[in-house]
Amino acid sequence: MVPVSVTRKFVSLSLLVLLILSMAVAAFPAAAADCAAGTTVHQVRWNDTLEQISRTYGVDIVTLRDLNGISNINLIFWGTTLCIGTPEVAPPAVPPAIEYQVRYGDTLSQIAYAFGQSVSAIASANGIANVNYILTGETLIVP
């Protein structure tokens, strides 16, 4: 006959194992079949972290978490499949160039400082070889 204390310990340990397993199953991300068409899929490898994966693919960690239904970003399991999603890549905004008419006493460095540009950027945009020589009335393009 098995003592009651051993049986209680066994039942307690069994319940603890079931609890841990149920938490692990809930933490598993979506399967590859659940990923949208055209979505990149990543199989988690040993020592992968969600942060590393998000940096590798250029996807925000919160987006990655939400897309895969991960409740704890510090708990992912190797061998599982993550839907990466495609980051929305907006083309870089190119501000329009500004035209500036040189006034008497202006210097290229003053103009560059006023517009938050470098002297070399303005010089190269305007084909100026000598940054110490600009003419009054000349129209400069400030990138």
Distance in angstroms (rounded) separating the CA atoms of residues 52 and 60: 11
Give the DSSP per-residue string, 66-123.
HHHT-S-TT---TT-EEE------PPPP-PPPEEEE--TT--HHHHHHHHT--HHHHH
Distance in angstroms (rounded) separating the CA atoms of residues 83 and 108: 52
pLDDT at site 22: 58
Whole-model pTM over 0.85: no
CB-based contact 77:45 (threshold 8 Å):
no
Q: Could you give all domains of the chain from N- to C-terminal order, each with its CATH number?
A: 27-89 (3.10.350.10), 98-142 (3.10.350.10)
Closest among 142, 63, 126 to 134, alpha carbons compared: 126
Q: Which residues of the chain have pLDDT under 50?
A: 25-30, 32
pLDDT at site 26: 45
pLDDT tens column, 34-55? 777 777 888 888 888 888 888 8
CB-based contact 80:28 (threshold 8 Å):
yes
Closest among 83, 79, 70 to 43, alpha carbons compared: 79
